Structure 1
Amino acid sequence: PAPCPPACLSSDPTLFPVLPPAPRHQDPSSTRRLRAWGGLVGAVILTALWLLWLLGSDPGGVLEPQPVVTILIWHWPFTDRPPELPGDTCIHYGMAQCRLSANRSLLASADAVVFHHRELETQKFHLPLAQRPPGQPWIWASMESPSNSHGLRHLRGIFNWVLSYRRDSDIFVPYGRLEPRSGPTPPLPAKRRMAAWVVSNFQERQQRAKLYRQLAPHLRVDVFGRASRRPLCANCLLPTIAQYRFYLSFENSQHRDYITEKFWRNALAAGAVPVVLGPPRATYEAFVPPDAFVHVDDFSSARELAAFLVSMNESRYLRFFAWRDRLSVRLMHDWRERFCAICAHYPHLPRSQVYEDLEGWFQA
């Protein structure tokens, strides 16, 4: 072999490889061009390496398409006639590669099966335990409170995941949420009356009924719904409530995270200030700004609450709507959207998880 030139024996790293000395008066534009070409070459190399990493698991060099997740709904909530479920149903809710079906013949091949509790509770149908494929996740779904969910003790050790309004659910689906506003802020409806309440199931033993009885002598409350024999049609509900300054967003029972359409639709979406009876104030503040509602727990009595509402001036009242300049209400009442949400969580949920005491978890 030819002897190594002196330069390669030097310990100075700048001498390897050996380059001819640059001219003393090198053109600056040439230097810039060289640097630009060097940056471009580096970017090309990095891009090529990234693509090779993506394609490395595929000998053919083609990206594998994501598999479609099939969610079987064993019985559609509250009806014997499920809606049409075309293949692109979940795409409308921002979820691709997700298929909903109510076809029970898919039990053996479905990626997960959903069971709505009301139909289990009323024994309208039974669980197909004998036909359950090994390892198939089963999902318990309910948007009702524990006070209105019975028979949970019979469902021990069956379900892997839970879909509900509880924030610690495997698939968390609230009744509504606030989203950044994309358009101009709509004008606040003109207010002509003080307070409204829509109630169909009025029971004296409920906390909301007791609070109403205490509040009524001090505050004018117009009551609508079947309980007062003044029902409102679907298209009449929001325009009627919009005329009122306040709406009594009283939940039928007080449980962890239980905030329903009484708050999201009947009050916020209608443009009335919600007066809430439900979980603690901190729970509401996890969803909306703290000055967007009135919480009954902030007052020592119903009379004090009524005095606060009646004596409120206009500037103080308008502060309850400051959020409307940047946020809008998104109602999430469609069961198709709720079931499509399963696919977003599906890859990350534990397959080995089992609710051995579903009743104990839900009532906690």
Structure 2
Amino acid sequence: MAFLLQNLLAQKTGKILALLLAAACFVQLVMNGSISQESWTEKKYTKIPEPTVVLVWHWPFHTEFTPREDVCLKLHAIDNCILTRNRSMFDGADVVVFHHRELQTNRSSLPQQTRPPNQKWLWVSMESPTNTKRIHQYNGCFNWTMTYKADSDIFLPYGALKKNDQPSNFSIPKKSGLLTWVVSNYRRTSLRAKVHANLSKHIDIQMYGRAAGTFLPSERLLPTISRYAFYLAFENSIHKDYITEKIWRNAFIAGSVPVVLGPPRENYERFVPPDSFIHVNDFASTEELASFLTALSTNRTRYEQYFNWRKTYTVKISTEWTERLCNICTKFHELPQQKIYHNLHSWFHQQ
């Protein structure tokens, strides 16, 4: 028995000596700089952040799409972000997203559950105030906004210019026509319809779209526009920052110079170069505008100057709702935590 106890004691003593030796070696490595004490403690005590859970109450435009919860990482390289339509996750959601088009038709579609104390509600709309109804019903409901307005909590423009990583190989498409316009909703009393009617008295405008009885499928839209020197990027209503795909996609990406009707020139120049577009307001009359376009189309050197920005920038447009909604996670921790839109209607309509 005495021999056994001595043996166990020796084994235990050996383990203690081994641990002490290992600890001494580690301390020596830290002191020698082989191991950074700061980095070691950081790694040891750094807490992995909890994922941000974004619950989309209605997928925009009543689409039945249901995203995988890891869609933000898989498609857009945004980690720690869960995008879901699963309403059973309401109590654990950090943000609940409401697209106004769906709210506009059914006030009772808001959640009936009690909102968790720290949960944020986000109001989303890409439409202009002219085409957005019943906003006042939601005064006091929302913490944050995500719209085309630059003063939104999350700015959601229809497009943007990004600096080129390398020299551009863009070339101006060959032109066979002067001026075109693709339009579906044509109300004769609207400003854009009146400007078009007056302009067409002085210059030929080739119209496409449902309003013209010549519907263009999506695959033919840009190739058709690209054949024309100019494109009428006329907005359906005039509001600050309301600059839609009509300039970003239909004109810029197609390779046609946009003739814009929308907010003032200085508003456009916040987002695009001043020599990349022609503004209707720069001319005293539509006759003067028509003369300018006709002369410019025959001056190759002057016309090409409207594409100089292509050497530095490319157009980035976002049409995928998964990308737009996943970006909420990248902004989440920067947004004000105590904000409430007590008068959402007034904010959205202010110029």
* Same fold? TM cut 0.5: yes
In the alignment, structure 1 segments of 5+ residues that lack a partner are 1-40, 56-60
Kept in 2: contact 1:90–1:336 (CA 8 A): no
- Mapped to 1, the partners of 2:230 and 2:113 lie a distance apart of 52
Once the two structures are TM-superposed, the CA of residue 301 in structure 1 deviates from its matched residue by: 1.1
After superposition, the CA RMSD in angstroms is 2.0
In the alignment of these two chains, the number of paired residues is 318
Q: Name the residue aligned to 2:72.
A: 89
Q: Name the residue aligned to 1:20.
A: none
Residue 336 to residue 130, structure 1, CA distance change in 2 (3 Å): same
State the SS of the aligned residue for 1:162.
strand
Once the two structures are TM-superposed, the CA of residue 271 in structure 1 deviates from its matched residue by: 0.3
> TM-score, normalising length from structure 1?
0.83
Deviations 1:271-310 (Å, cap 9, x if unpaired)? Answer: 0001111111112111111111111111111111111111
Once the two structures are TM-superposed, the CA of residue 105 in structure 1 deviates from its matched residue by: 1.1
- Mapped to 2, the partners of 1:124 and 1:78 lie a distance apart of 16
Q: Name the residue aligned to 1:78.
A: 61
Q: Name the residue aligned to 1:261.
A: 245
Q: Which moved more, 1:195-204 or 1:117-126?
A: 117-126
Q: Name the residue aligned to 1:343.
A: 329
Q: Name the residue aligned to 2:276.
A: 292
- Mapped to 2, the partners of 1:130 and 1:102 lie a distance apart of 16
Relative to its length, the structure with more helix (as a share) is: 2
Residue 226 to residue 253, structure 1, CA distance change in 2 (3 Å): same
- Mapped to 1, the partners of 2:152 and 2:276 lie a distance apart of 26
- Mapped to 2, the partners of 1:42 and 1:234 lie a distance apart of 67
Of 290, 307, 312, which aligns to 1:326? 312
Once the two structures are TM-superposed, the CA of residue 335 in structure 1 deviates from its matched residue by: 1.1
Once the two structures are TM-superposed, the CA of residue 117 in structure 1 deviates from its matched residue by: 0.2
Residue 149 (structure 2) pairs with residue 161 (structure 1) = no
- Mapped to 1, the partners of 2:312 and 2:123 lie a distance apart of 36
Deviations 1:46-71 (Å, cap 9, x if unpaired)? Answer: x936526745xxxxx14222221010
Letter in 2 for 1:291: D
Kept in 1: contact 2:158–2:243 (CA 8 A): yes
- Mapped to 1, the partners of 2:284 and 2:128 lie a distance apart of 26
Kept in 2: contact 1:191–1:242 (CA 8 A): yes
Residue 43 to residue 154, structure 1, CA distance change in 2 (3 Å): farther
Q: Name the residue aligned to 1:271.
A: 255
Q: Name the residue aligned to 2:173.
A: 189
In the TM superposition, structure 1's runs of 4+ consecutive aligned residues that sit over 4 Å from their partners are 41-45
Kept in 2: contact 1:90–1:337 (CA 8 A): no
Once the two structures are TM-superposed, the CA of residue 215 in structure 1 deviates from its matched residue by: 0.5
Residue 300 (structure 2) pairs with residue 314 (structure 1) = yes
Residue 44 to residue 225, structure 1, CA distance change in 2 (3 Å): farther
Q: Name the residue aligned to 2:235.
A: 251
Kept in 1: contact 2:94–2:118 (CA 8 A): no
- What percent of counterpart residues are identical? 44
In the alignment, structure 2 segments of 5+ residues that lack a partner are 1-29
Residue 125 to residue 260, structure 1, CA distance change in 2 (3 Å): farther
